[in-house]
Chain A
Amino acid sequence: MQDLAQRGASIDLDGVHLSYGDTAVLRDIDLRIKGGEFMTLLGPSGSGKSTLLNLMGGFARANAGEVRVNGAQIDHLPPNRRDMGMVYQNYALFPHMTIADNIAYPLKRRKMSKSDRAALVRAALAMVDLHGFADRRPSQLSGGQQQRVAVARAIVFRPQILLMDEPLGALDKRLRDEMQSELRQLHEEVGSTVVFVTHDQEEAMVMSDRIAVMNGGRVEQVGTPHELYSRPRTTFVATFLGESTMLRGTVHAVGGQSIFHYRDTRVPVDGHDVTGSGTLLLRPEQIELSEDKPLRSTNVLEVRIENVESLGPTRRTKVTLPDGASGIVREPGSKTSRLRPGDTAWMSWQVGASWVVPEAQEECPHE
């Protein structure tokens, strides 16, 4: 059986800028994608993520900046000479060709011999578990099967890079979860670099080695799912990836130590050389609620319970902070609690859990 394993290529984007008329779609994007990496472009619709993917595939051209694959500039190359596999949300299978012809299409374009072609098509079909479907037409397959064919067609010519534009967006939830782990496994086996576009943060967290969060045509932050979740650099990244409680206050440097001030509360924060206003970010599972005031005086806030939802293994409590904003706490369902809406309670957290997001950096004039 033919081996479809591959060594992924690196992709570098430098100062990429693209606009249609007066509307800038991509603004000064710098991004390094390592060979073999599973990189997700995550963002809301209109954030430029699909345009960025099209740019890598050669379907859009930047007004400024450059794209390099394995160090070589590729901006001038048309899509058919870029050797990248692409998978679309609506599959884009050729309706007038059989499944086998669809998969053989890129091989024929590369003038491969008939016997090599047949072997590779078989290997690709096997990889996506579709033996015996070779002679069917796309319209005879279910959505999930069509998506597998699209993937097989994208990997069969052993591209060093796979581009995927919301490939699971048209599938229902169960099928999507199944395909997520299949794609992940496929990535391990094939070894190509994958650039994956999605607006679904959960999907991005599950699948990616690293995520580039995009907003308004910019890359807001690049990092591993864990980094983005626990150390977001902007409030946009913080809110786009999961729930959080946000305390708006100021950071003061006292000696060598940064102290976050929120009303009467003082919280020491580590690793911040920023001073000025900022937001202290707490993830729901980092907070503890108690009916009585804990003994320590820092990292403690008096809150009012808004509502309590029991979700089985966890309990989700919505609270009102002293400044009127609301916060979210998630605790194990096994922990007993008598708190009811309207009650007063105390929330506390570990000092190490504190993370401050500086206030809108780029709009600060003196920075």
Chain B
Amino acid sequence: MMPHRRHVLPVFAVLLAVTIVLPILAVIPVSFTPTSSFAISSPESWSPRWYRELLTNPVWLDSLVSSLRIALLAALVATVAGTMAALGLRRVRRTHRVVARALVTLPLLIPLVVLAVGLYAMLIRTQLVGTTAGFVLAHALLGLPLAFITVSASLDALDDNLEQASRGLGAGPVTTMRLIVLPLVAPGVIAGALFAFVVSFNEVVIAGFLGSPYLRTLPIEMYSSMTRSTDPTVAAAATFVAALTVITAAFALAAMSWRRRHLTRKD
């Protein structure tokens, strides 16, 4: 791009970067607004009013608790299934592994609405709409590829000789898995679990189909609040959700770079 103008490109990139980040930050001053509108307030007038509303109004609080419960369970299921699949696919022939990896990552590529309709059609026939089990199934499916990909990456970086060495030194396959393989891929497993948690916690499309008056997740509550009114509690919720996402993702990235720094050989 116009390589002869040396500064045009960096300036453009920084502007775009700022345009990507700033609108998201605009949510914060709205969440502290003292008024009952989506007004961007100045810091001296800030009030914690809408955060109090978020944590005391049973409608908001219940949805927050439901979201956390579903996200934790979904992350657990996705991580266990994804980790086991990553372990199981290690010694499989290359062509088979490529097919299996494509299948496991498929949930990422199917349009969410399509998945949501299908899940809704199935769960309504089994009376699981509006239940934690239904949500966990759907969200675990979305978390599965993420857990699988991060754990696979950790396993790929694992030196095969370590397992051989452990076997040769007297450990059986199960002991080797427990003492050598799992501790070494643990950061990858943790990162995968955190990503799966974030995806479930933020998911709104499938939740829009599967929710019921008795079980609503926080994103659904936020969505219906946005379409209904200008209640700034949604800004507090959005800030909370975004902060939790960024913190969780930061932990996941930290776990992965810790593994790179401490558990791989320096040559």
User: Residues on A close to B: CB < 8 A?
Assistant: 57-59, 78-86, 88, 90, 92, 94-96, 105-106, 109-110, 138-139, 153-154, 157, 163
Contacts and interface: CB of A to CB of B under 8 A. Distances in A.
Contacts of B161: 88, 90, 92
A88 B265 CA distance: 14
B166 to A, nearest CB: 7
- The B contact surface, by secondary structure, is helix
B263 A79 contact: no
Contact of B164 (A81, A92, A94, A139): A92
Contacts of A105: 166, 169, 171, 179
Given A90-B161, A94-B162, A109-B175, A79 B265 contact: no
A105 B171 CA distance: 9
A80 B263 contact: no
Q: Which 8 A-B pairs have the closest CB atoms?
A: A109-B170, A106-B169, A92-B161, A79-B167, A92-B165, A86-B168, A95-B263, A88-B161
**B162, B165, B264: most-surrounded residue (chain A CB, <10 A):** B165
Contact of B171 (A59, A84, A96, A109): A109
A46 to B, nearest CB: 19
Contacts of B159: 90, 92
A94 B263 CA distance: 9
A289 B169 CA distance: 56
5 contacts: A58-B167, A79-B168, A80-B171, A88-B161, A94-B162
Given A86-B164, A90-B159, A157 B172 contact: no
A237 to B, nearest CB: 30
Given A90-B159, A95-B184, A78 B264 contact: no
Given A90-B159, A90-B161, A109-B175, A95 B262 contact: yes
B265 A90 contact: yes
Contacts of A82: 168
A84 to B, nearest CB: 6
A88 B164 CA distance: 10
Contacts of B265: 90, 95, 138-139
A157 B168 contact: no
